[in-house]
A = this chain, B = another copy of it.
C-alpha cells in the first residue's frame, strides 16, 4: 500500500479542508475505494510568514523533520497545504525521497486562459518570497499584489481562521473581494490555505477565485489515482 503524505498543521483547519477536498474528489462508493493518507499535522512549526519577513530560517528544521517523518513512513508523494512554507520548497524537495508537489504551480496552472492580471491573496511572507509572482510569470500573467489596506484585511482573514473565528474571517475576506471587484481584477488566487476556509461562506464573485487547497488536492488525487493507490488489496 502506498500512502499520500501530507505535511500539515499550517494551520490545522486548512489541513482538514485539504483532506476533505481529496476525499470529495475521489470517486468512491465505499471506504475501501478512498485514498490512503498519512497526515503529519504539526502546528508547532514556527510562523512561516514571520520568518520570511524577518529573514530567518526558524521553520526550516521543523519542515525538514516533517519531511523525514513522512518519508520514514514510506509515503509515495508529499503535499503541503500551506503556501508560505513553499518559500523553502527547494530544500524540502531535495531532502525528500518522495516527490513533493508545489502548491503554487498547481494553482497557477488553474488560472483560466485569457487572464492577464491576477490578484494574489497570500501572507505578507509569501508575497515577499515571490514564488507566486515567479510562477505567474511562467504563464505571462501579471501578479497584482493588494495595497496595504487590502492586505491588512487579508492578514485578519488568515489570523481569524487560524484562531477558529470563521465568521470574522469570512467578513474580512468579503471586504477584500469587494475591493478587488472595484479594482477590476480578472482573477484572484487564494494563495494561503486559510483563505478557502473563510471563502466557504463567501458569495459569488464577478471574477474567478482560484483555491490553492483545491488545486493541490486535485493534483494529489490525479497523481495517486493514476497509480492505483486506492485499489490496493
Contact = CB atoms under 8 A, between A and B. Distances in A.
Majority DSSP secondary structure for residues of A touching B: loop
Contacts of A31: 9-12, 43-45, 47, 162
A41 B38 contact: yes
A147 interface: no
A10 B37 CA distance: 12
Given A34-B11, A41-B37, A230-B43, A28 B164 contact: yes
Interface in A5-28: 9-13, 15-16, 19-20, 23-24, 28
A40 interface: yes
Interface string A88-117: 000000000000000000000000000000
A44 B164 contact: no
Contacts of A46: 32
A35 interface: yes
Interface residues of A, number: 40
A53 to B, nearest CB: 16
A69 interface: yes
B163 A28 contact: yes
Given A13-B20, A164-B23, A41 B36 contact: yes
A29 interface: yes
B24 A164 contact: yes
Contact of A29 (B9, B38, B42, B163): B163
A16 B81 CA distance: 15
A12 B19 contact: yes
A232 to B, nearest CB: 5
A138 interface: no
A60 interface: no
Given A41-B19, A164-B23, A232-B44, A9 B34 contact: yes
Contacts of A47: 30-32
Interface of A: 1, 9-13, 15-16, 19-20, 23-24, 28-47, 69, 73, 162-164, 230, 232-233
13 contacts: A9-B34, A9-B36, A11-B34, A13-B23, A15-B19, A19-B41, A28-B43, A28-B164, A30-B47, A36-B43, A38-B38, A38-B39, A44-B233
